[in-house]
């Protein structure tokens, strides 16, 4: 069995490699891949949670264990951590274990970027981001690769963390500023939410025609970032409809709401944005097949 420690996978991770791997994974998810039900669990302390996500594609099968330990803030380390296991399908043994704390951040942001590239208006330049945590930084940088972002409007309930986030983006040449939720939503052309929220973060009426909205934080029952009233005005997309209905943002959508897998848009089977005034919503609840593809890409880079 090959073991790839965090230090190695983190050095090889990048927005470029994650984008290509995740795009291929999302297409596979809507085609030949099998995505198995997510197992949600917690540690001895119920606030410490983890999820087991597994899948099988044409040439890859395996699983990811992703943990969320909120108390890690006090330790100065990220709340999220992950490990990906790939099977040797000839005998059922594990052929590779890839630690993926940082890799998972790139993978999640890549899902957002791939969907936004397919759904957001090509001239979108103003981004509103709800949340100023560790993952939000990756999301903004991934989107800055696929759209010419002129303004990043940061909405957060933690002013100190928000100020640090804004400063970090400005230092990288990304023009960012703190802003209240309503004002940010009314001027944004792309809105992303990257929070652990359990209730809508803004009012549906604040979202303007032509806006692309992405929920990146809803990945278990009860989580919610977007107002359900928005869904009646929008075209709805997700990584996997069945999973989104169970643990993603669209657990709060009407039963009759039409959900389209983003992989079908990427492969040309379904239409994405059909006009400049469309509101598009993308829900990313996170798929194991994305993890398998990025883990295999790490192995390929090591063998190159």
64 is catalytic: yes
DSSP string, 190-224: EEEE-S--BS-SS-GGGSPTT-EEEE-S--STT-B
Given this model, what pLDDT does residue 297 score? 98
d(CA 254, CA 233): 12
* CB 173 within 8 Å of CB 197: no
Task: Supply the pLDDT for residue 78.
Answer: 85
Find, among 155, 142, 145, 148, the residue nearest to 181 by Cα. 155
Looking at the chain, the number of H-run helices and the number of E-run strands are 9, 15
Closest CA to 18 of 304, 298, 219: 298
Question: Two tokens at 133?
Answer: 């945590």
Q: How confident is the model at residue 115, as a pLDDT?
A: 98
Q: Are 201 and 180 in contact (CB under 8 A)?
A: no
* Amino acid 151: pLDDT: 98
Name beta bridge partners: 35: 55
Distance separating alpha carbons of residues 141 and 146, to the nearest angstrom: 9
- Polymer length of the chain: 304
What's the rounded Cα separation, in Å, for the pair 271 and 93?
A: 41
d(CA 240, CA 25): 11
Among candidate residues 23, 53, 64, 223, the one labeled active-site is 64
Q: What is the C-alpha separation between 110 and 19, in angstroms, rounded?
A: 5
Residue 304 confidence (pLDDT) = 86
Name the residue with tokens 């009314």: 186
Which residues on neighbouring strands pair with residue 64, listed in sequence order? 53, 84
- Tokens coding 101: 């704390």
pLDDT tens per residue across all 304 residues of the chain: 999 999 999 999 999 999 999 999 999 999 989 999 999 999 999 999 999 999 999 999 999 999 999 999 899 888 889 999 999 999 999 999 999 999 999 999 999 999 999 999 999 999 999 999 989 999 999 999 999 999 999 999 999 999 999 999 999 999 999 999 999 999 999 999 999 999 999 999 999 999 999 999 998 899 999 999 999 999 999 999 999 999 999 999 999 999 999 999 999 999 999 999 999 999 999 999 999 999 999 999 999 8
């Amino acid at each position: 069995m090959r073991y790839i420690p965090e230090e190695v996978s983190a050095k090889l991770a990048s927005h470029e490699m994650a984008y290509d791997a995740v795009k291929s994974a999302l297409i596979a998810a809507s085609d030949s891949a099998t995505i198995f039900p997510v197992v949600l669990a917690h540690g001895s302390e119920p606030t410490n949670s983890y999820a087991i996500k597994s899948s099988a594609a044409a040439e890859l099968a395996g699983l990811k264990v992703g943990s969320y330990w909120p108390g890690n803030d006090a330790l100065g380390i990220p709340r999220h951590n992950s490990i990906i296991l790939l099977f040797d399908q000839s005998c059922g043994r594990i052929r590779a274990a890839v630690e993926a704390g940082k890799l998972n951040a790139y993978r999640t942001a890549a899902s957002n970027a791939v969907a936004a590239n397919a759904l957001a208006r090509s001239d979108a330049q103003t981004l509103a981001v709800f949340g100023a945590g560790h993952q939000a930084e990756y999301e903004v940088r991934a989107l800055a690769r696929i759209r010419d972002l002129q303004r990043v409007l940061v909405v957060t309930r933690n002013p100190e963390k928000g100020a640090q986030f804004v400063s970090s983006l400005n230092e990288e040449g990304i023009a960012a500023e703190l802003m209240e939720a309503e004002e940010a939503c009314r001027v944004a052309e792309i809105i992303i939410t990257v929070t652990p929220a359990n209730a809508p973060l803004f009012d549906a009426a604040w979202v303007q025609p032509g806006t692309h909205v992405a929920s990146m934080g809803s990945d278990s029952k009860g989580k919610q970032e977007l107002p359900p009233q928005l869904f009646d005005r929008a075209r709805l997309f997700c990584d996997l409809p069945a999973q989104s209905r169970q643990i993603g943002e669209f657990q709060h959508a009407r039963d009759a709401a039409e959900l389209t897998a983003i992989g079908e848009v990427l492969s040309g089977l379904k239409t994405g944005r059909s006009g400049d005034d469309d509101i598009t919503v993308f829900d990313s609840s996170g798929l194991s097949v994305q993890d398998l593809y990025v883990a295999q890409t790490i192995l390929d880079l090591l063998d190159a």
